[in-house]
Amino acid sequence: MTIAMHNLLLLLCCSHLTISVIAFQPSLPSRHITSRERPKIVIIGGGWAGYTVAESLSTNNLHSDQVEILLLDASKSGGGLAGGYREGKRPVEAGIHGFWREYKNTFAVMDGIEGVNINEVLSDYTPSVLYSKNGKVAVAPVLLNEDKVDTLFTVPLKEERIRRLIAEKLPPPLDLPILAKLDTQSSNLQPLDVLSGLGLLGAWADFEQESPASWKAYDEQPASLLFEKAGITDNLYQELVSPLLHVLPMCPAYDCSAAAALSCFHVFALQSKGAFDVRWCRGSIGELIFHPWKHQLEGRGVQFKNGARVACISSNDDEEVSLSGETPSKYSYAIQLDDNSRILCDAVVIAIGAVAAGKLAGTSPALSSLPATENFDKLRGVTCIAVRLFLKPDTIISDNLQGGFYSKTQLPPDVAKSMTDSPIAVCGAGIGGISELKETGFCIYDLQRMHDEFSVEYYNANSVELEDQVAVLEVDFYRADSFVDMSDAQIVGLTLKAVSEALGTKIINTEDVVESKVLRARNAVSHFAPKSALYSPGAKVANSIYMAGDWIDRTGHASWSTEKSVVTARQAAYSLSVDFGLDRSSCTVIPAAADTPQLSALRKSAKMLRSIAPPKTLPPSPWVLAKQLLSGEK
Ligand SMILES: Cc1cc2nc3c(=O)[nH]c(=O)nc-3n(C[C@H](O)[C@H](O)[C@H](O)COP(=O)(O)OP(=O)(O)OC[C@H]3O[C@@H](n4cnc5c(N)ncnc54)[C@H](O)[C@@H]3O)c2cc1C
């Protein structure tokens, strides 16, 4: 059979699959692996990726009895890194997670969960305030004014109105510097510094995230080289670029791949108007999203096993599997849990973090021999620490605060005042010269203005006794390796100091901390170090073994973090559905935003330039090139 015929047949087989053109096309030969009527599929990992795979495969297939699905997760509660749980009456999470405007696939998934109304579960788009080690840098307002002209004229400040009118006419990213309100008092950042950022446009246009060759070229270089070549000023680097790197890819420029930095900035800020705008959950993502989601999946017949850590996967070629009970030869794989129990199945979807996958590959005969897992031991993770401080409420309730879902807080008045513009402070590395924070960025959240159950309005409406009321500060640290081994009490002390240094407020007295929770996520977040893309597998790594997660190659779809986990999950589910003839799966991937006409034009010019004079490494900005030519540098 020719490849063309084979593809045609595949197409006919899958004519019911709802899948967009951008979706992953399986590169490995497919086959109907099992003779059983209902293939048994095991999904390992219960975060966004694992749940989305279960969602895609179960939407229509379970009702028609086409497939059996079991989802295993090592943790006790669902949601992966985005999940959480209650300790006593207090909810805790491994960090607060935002949803960017371009998270279209994630929003679509949420929309499909019964009991989740996006506009009730999430806040509106929320501004944030950026701090560098030198102090407050800028307020990042909500960039896309969806109501356009009507609300433009109700915006109170004359200056703001003018800014918005100008920005309306500019393509991204040129609208960003116009809308961002630089803090001229504490920041050194001058308009010329901001303009130097345009030096990145050359690389941004030259870098084609959908092209493997372009990824490879940029991925091999550190982002520090990219910024040097772009000729951005030291001020811009220190005040804006470095803080954003520390909270988005969560690493310093020397330890971040240039491809990751460019792609991150593209996805989170530059790809479309308002791409930088973020919505936040109005409570725990675990409770508001994953609980109803699990309920929906269970209703369809998906089985869940929590507290189930997978220790090893072997294939039925391995002696061990054929020795196990339950007519093993019928199944392709045996999954062994760390309590030594075994589960046999026809297909496995691995939806766990990169470092966890590296460990699993090392112990699993079915994975260790695969070319795709050859470099898994080189995959690294970023360590995060989430600290939640429940504080004695201040006798003064600060009101009329901007940007949050709620406008009141019982935080100490000086803290409340310093967070007037937004309940979210985004802080770069090196704040306050604190040695532990040299390479650690962090975010401070006033949860009373973000989460329903802590809001002053909730307390009043439900007559919550004063002794049961708390003000709540959450501080999430990224790349926190230097202090992850400290005791909880030491970390709380460091957190109080970091907040005071960042916001320029008095240190909150430890006696005012009624309760605190410190959650450590060691090596848990994917680290996009130089060359890391080389080690990222595709959505299918072997017959009947698929992978999903925010570190999996998403074949050109410009997405990151949660959205990338959802996209790769859809791609893995698609691939599996093709292989097993599950023609009712719901695997649609909504394409990322198309290039703006301006970016398209820039890309065309960059392509032409590259064909005439291919750059040896990363392309320099025009002014760096001119400087090099004038000084005779190469
Ligand atoms: C502090 C912090 C802040 C963040 N902020 C944001 C944000 O604002 N926006 C955003 O989009 N993203 C954010 N992220 C990243 C986001 O959490 C991840 O991109 C997302 O959770 C990835 O989902 P996932 O399903 O791929 O993996 P995970 O959420 O890591 O889930 C993997 C699951 O696999 C399980 N597992 C691991 N090993 C095994 C095993 N051997 N057997 C069985 N189960 C196993 C784990 O228990 C876990 O539940 C943040 C992360 C952190 C830590």
* Residue 423 near residue 403, CB atoms below 8 Å: yes
The 10s digit of each residue's pLDDT in 334-386 is 999 999 999 999 999 999 999 999 999 999 999 999 999 999 999 999 999 99
Q: Which atom of ligand 1 is nearest to the CA of 337?
A: 42
Q: Does 150 score more than 50 pLDDT?
A: no
Rounded to the nearest angstrom, the distance between the alpha carbon of 83 and the centre of ligand 1 is: 8
- CA angle at 531 for the pair 530 and 536, rounded to the nearest 5°: 125
Percent of the chain past pLDDT 90, that is, above it, reads: 62
CA distances 102 to 108, 270, 307, 391, 523, Å, are 11, 11, 33, 35, 26
Ligand 1 midpoint to CA 549 (Å) = 8
For the Cβ of 351 lying below 6 angstroms from any atom of ligand 1, the answer is yes
The H or E element containing residue 93 is strand 90-93
For the segment 489-494, the average pLDDT, to the nearest whole number, is: 98
Nearest CA to ligand 1 atom 13: 97
Q: For residue 625, with 0-12 CB atoms within 10 Å meaning exposed, 13-18 middle and 19 or more buried, which class applies?
A: middle
Amino acid at 425: A
Query: What's the pLDDT score for residue 199?
Result: 78
CA of 80 to the centre of ligand 1 (A): 5
Rg of the chain, C-alpha, whole Å: 25
CB-based contact 295:277 (threshold 8 Å)? no
3-state SS string for 525-537: EECCCCCHHHHCC
Q: Chain-wide mean pLDDT for the chain?
A: 85
Q: Of 171 and 92, which is predicted with more confidence?
A: 92
Q: Is 349 in the pocket of ligand 1 (CB under 6 A)?
A: no
Burial label, 407 (beta-carbon count in 10 A; 0-12, 13-18, 19+):
middle
Instruction: Say which residue, 152 or 465, is predicted with more confidence.
Output: 465
Interval between CA 476 and ligand 1 midpoint (Å): 15
Residue 385, both tokens: 């620490």
| Residue whose CA lies nearest to ligand 1 atom number 50 | 97
For tokens 């809308």, name the residue: 179
List CB contacts of 563: < 8 A, sequence separation 6 or more: 100, 102, 103, 104, 105, 106, 267
The model's pLDDT over 188-247, given as tens digits with 9 standing for 90+, comes to 777 778 777 777 777 877 888 778 888 888 899 999 998 888 888 888 888 888 988 999
Q: Which residues, at least 6 apart from 278, have a Cβ–Cβ distance to it below 8 Å?
A: 98, 99, 100, 101, 125, 126, 128
Evaluate if residue 473 carries a pLDDT over 90.
Answer: yes
- Whether the pLDDT of residue 141 is over 60: the answer is yes
Residue 353 Cβ contacting ligand 1 at under 6 Å = yes
Shortest-distance atom of ligand 1 to CA 308:
43
Residue of the nearest CA to atom 5 in ligand 1? Answer: 97
pLDDT for 1 equals 33
Q: How many angstroms is it from 47 CA to the middle of ligand 1?
A: 6
Paired strand residues for 477: 385, 442
Residue 327 DSSP symbol: -
The response to whether residue 310 sits with its C-beta less than 6 Å from ligand 1 reads yes
Most confident among 130-134, 241-245, 330-334, 469-473 (mean pLDDT): 469-473
pLDDT of residue 172: 59
Nearest CA to ligand 1 atom 41: 310
The reply to whether ligand 1 has any atom less than 6 angstroms from the CB of 441 is no
Whether the Cβ atoms of residue 203 and residue 619 lie closer than 8 Å to each other: yes
Residue 313, ligand 1, Cβ within 6 A: no
Give nearest CA residue, ligand 1 atom 35: 45
106 CB within 6 A, ligand 1: no
Q: Is the CB of 73 under 6 A from ligand 1?
A: yes
CA of 550 to the centre of ligand 1 (A): 8
**What is the position in ligand 1's atom list of the atom closest to the CA of 386?**
1
Pocket test for ligand 1, best of 562, 564, 570, 571 (most atoms within 8 A of CB): 562
For residue 280, give the 3-state DSSP assignment. strand
Number of H helices, E strands in the chain: 25, 21
3-state helix, strand, coil in the chain (%, to 5): 40, 20, 40
- Residue 152: which pLDDT band, with cuts at 50, 70 and 90? very low
| Residue 316 burial (CB count, 10 A) | 18
Confirm whether pTM is higher than 0.85: yes
Angle at CA 263, nearest 5°, toward 262 and 268? 105
What are the structure tokens assigned to 449, written together? 């203005």
Find out whether the peptide bond into 173 is cis, omega within 30 degrees of 0.
yes
What does the block give as tokens for 557?
């779809």
CA of 381 to the centre of ligand 1 (A): 11
Mutate which of 76, 81, 560 for ligand 1? The one with the most ligand atoms within 8 Å of its CB, which is 81
Contact 82 CB / ligand 1 (< 6 Å):
yes
Atom 27 (ligand 1): residue with closest C-alpha?
Answer: 47
- Residue 585 falls in which region: left (phi positive, over 0), alpha (psi -120 to 50) or beta: beta
Q: Is 95 in the pocket of ligand 1 (CB under 6 A)?
A: yes
Q: What is the mean pLDDT of residues 166-195?
A: 67
Find out whether the beta carbon of 80 lies less than 6 Å from any atom of ligand 1.
yes
Q: What is the model's pLDDT at position 3? A: 34
pLDDT digits (tens, 9 = 90+) for 570-592: 999 999 999 999 988 999 999 98
Which mutation among 561, 563, 566 tests ligand 1's pocket best, with the greatest number of atoms within 8 A of CB?
Answer: 561
Which residue has the least CA distance to atom 2 on ligand 1? 95
Is 476 close to ligand 1, i.e. is its CB under 6 Å away? yes
Calculate how far, in angstroms, residue 49's C-alpha sits from the geometric centre of ligand 1: 8
337, 349, 352, 568: residue to mutate for ligand 1 pocket, most atoms within 8 A of CB: 352
Q: Give the position, in ligand 1's atom list, of the atom nearest the Cα of 45.
A: 34
In the structure, what pLDDT confidence band is assigned to residue 112 with cuts at 50, 70 and 90?
Answer: very high
Give the residue whose CA is nearest to atom 34 of ligand 1: 45
* Cα separation of the two ends of the chain: 53
Per-residue CA distances from 142 to 179, 425, 478 (Å): 9, 14, 24
pLDDT over threshold 80, residue 618:
no
Confidence of residue 323 (pLDDT cuts 50, 70, 90): very low
CB atoms under 10 Å from CB of 292, counted, come to: 16
Distances from the Cα of 523 to the Cαs of 11, 97, 505, 559, in angstroms? 41, 17, 32, 21
Ligand 1 centre from 210 Cα, in Å?
24
498 lines ligand 1 (CB under 6 A): no
Which residue from 460, 482, 552, 496 is spatially nearest to 24, judged by alpha carbons?
552
State pLDDT tens for residues 384-435: 999 999 999 999 999 999 999 999 999 999 999 999 999 999 999 999 999 9
Kindly indicate the confidence band of residue 5, based on its pLDDT and cuts at 50, 70 and 90: very low
Label each residue of 391-416 as H, E or C. Answer: ECCCCCCECCCCCCCCCCECCCHHHH
Task: State yes or no: pLDDT of 505 exceeds 80.
Answer: yes
Among residues 218, 309, 311, 300, the alpha carbon closest in space to that of 265 is found at 218
Contact 53, 286 (CB under 8 A): no
pLDDT at 589: 95
Question: By the 8 A CB rule, do 474 and 499 touch?
Answer: no
pLDDT digits (tens, 9 = 90+) for 518-548: 999 999 999 999 999 889 999 999 999 999 9
Mean pLDDT in residue range 22-43: 59
549 within ligand 1 shell (Cβ under 6 A):
yes
pLDDT of residue 216: 87
Measured from the CB, is residue 547 less than 6 Å from ligand 1?
Answer: no
- Lowest mean pLDDT across 35-49, 164-178, 260-274: 164-178
Residue 600 has pLDDT above 70, yes or no: yes
Name the pLDDT band for 613 (thresholds 50, 70, 90): low
pLDDT of res. 556: 80
